[in-house]
Homo-oligomer: A and B are copies of this chain.
């Protein structure tokens, strides 16, 4: 427990940062017509009747005087895809509005587009709060869009993912908790199998096994891939099956063995034109399956599941870096 006797400002910031918030940009127009805006996460609702919201601004902010004098301002609750906008309005001084498609709001306040919600406010009160001024605004108009929010937590941007309703626990198994919806291996296996079941008809049409498709697609990652890199990249994935798969591709004229350049040791593989065309066609078909699945899952969850699977691979998959041509993580 830190007390006033031992009050470390950095620790205090960290403690405040445990409270997650959305991210807003607050805009106004200065007396001389200049549009002003800054990124703020101290926003919150106050009252429903009358409709009031609040936020606070550091006394030291460059735009402090302009906001203090402003009769109107607008709060923009940012969407998940507006992180760059958030960063732009968090920087000092820059021409923040350059190139943005603006609307004109009540009192001439510049309004940004593509936000999760916007509140157009009239300054109702201002209260001193230490090194900040608290702005209370009466909401005169608002709009809202169905979109995932940008979130800030622990000093970093975050995603918000809908929680499973409390009480809906994983369905119980006969042998309690043993194998099923709470076991990552089951979830990964079943998701992989079921996802590929939707792609397999296209592979069957092209006469490719799962393994042959996996190797074919992996060969698209580099102009040429040495046999050694392929073997390392497939370690723990297809293992010795990868050799049979690449040989099958060579036999069908989809890939070929490259004569080693003097500077490299050992054999390398590259796709033939036929192989590259087939790979691109199958990948396009697989991408189309993916689009349909992700649309049903929802955009917000789709972004997060990919991000988390990449993070999982960073934990369990040092070999991927070989395929991707980067030093091991």
Q: A64 at interface (Cβ–Cβ under 8 A)?
A: no
Q: Report whether B149 and A19 are in contact in the complex, using a CB–CB cutoff of 8 Å.
A: yes
Q: A46 at interface (Cβ–Cβ under 8 A)?
A: yes
Q: Which B residue's beta carbon lies closest to that of A163?
A: B157
Q: A110 at interface (Cβ–Cβ under 8 A)?
A: no
Q: Report whether A179 and B220 are in contact in the complex, using a CB–CB cutoff of 8 Å.
A: yes
Encoded as 1 (CB less than 8 Å from any B CB) or 0, chain A from 185 to 223 comes to 111111111111111000000000000001001101111
Please measure, in the bound complex, the distance between the C-alpha atom of A154 and the C-alpha atom of B319, giving whole angstroms.
40
Q: Which of B180, B182, B184, B220 contacts A221 (CB 8 A)?
A: B180
Give, as a whole number of angstroms, the nearest-CB distance from A274 to chain B.
15
Q: A102 at interface (Cβ–Cβ under 8 A)?
A: no
Interface residues of A (CB under 8 A from B): 1-4, 7, 9, 11-16, 18-22, 24, 42-54, 56, 77, 83-84, 87, 116-117, 119, 125, 127, 129-132, 134, 136, 139-144, 147, 149, 151, 153-154, 156-164, 166, 170-171, 173-175, 178-199, 214, 217-218, 220-223, 235-239, 276, 279-280, 283, 286-287, 289-290, 293-294, 296-297, 301-302, 304-313, 315-317, 319-320, 324, 326
Contacts of A239 in B (CB 8 A): 197
Contacts of A302 in B (CB 8 A): 184
Secondary structure call for the A interface:
mixed
Q: Report whether A217 and B52 are in contact in the complex, using a CB–CB cutoff of 8 Å.
A: no
Q: Report whether A42 and B42 are in contact in the complex, using a CB–CB cutoff of 8 Å.
A: no
Contacts of A1 in B (CB 8 A): 141-143
Please measure, in the bound complex, the distance between the C-alpha atom of A218 and the C-alpha atom of B14, giving whole angstroms.
46
Contacts of A191 in B (CB 8 A): 188, 192, 309, 312-313, 316-317
Q: Report whether A141 and B4 are in contact in the complex, using a CB–CB cutoff of 8 Å.
A: yes
Please measure, in the bound complex, the distance between the C-alpha atom of A158 and the C-alpha atom of B192, giving whole angstroms.
26
Q: Which of B3, B188, B199, B218 contacts A195 (CB 8 A)?
A: B188
Q: Which of B125, B178, B293, B296 contacts A220 (CB 8 A)?
A: B178
Contacts of A222 in B (CB 8 A): 174
Q: A1-B141, A19-B21, A308-B304 are in contact. Are A47 and B149 (CB under 8 A)?
A: no
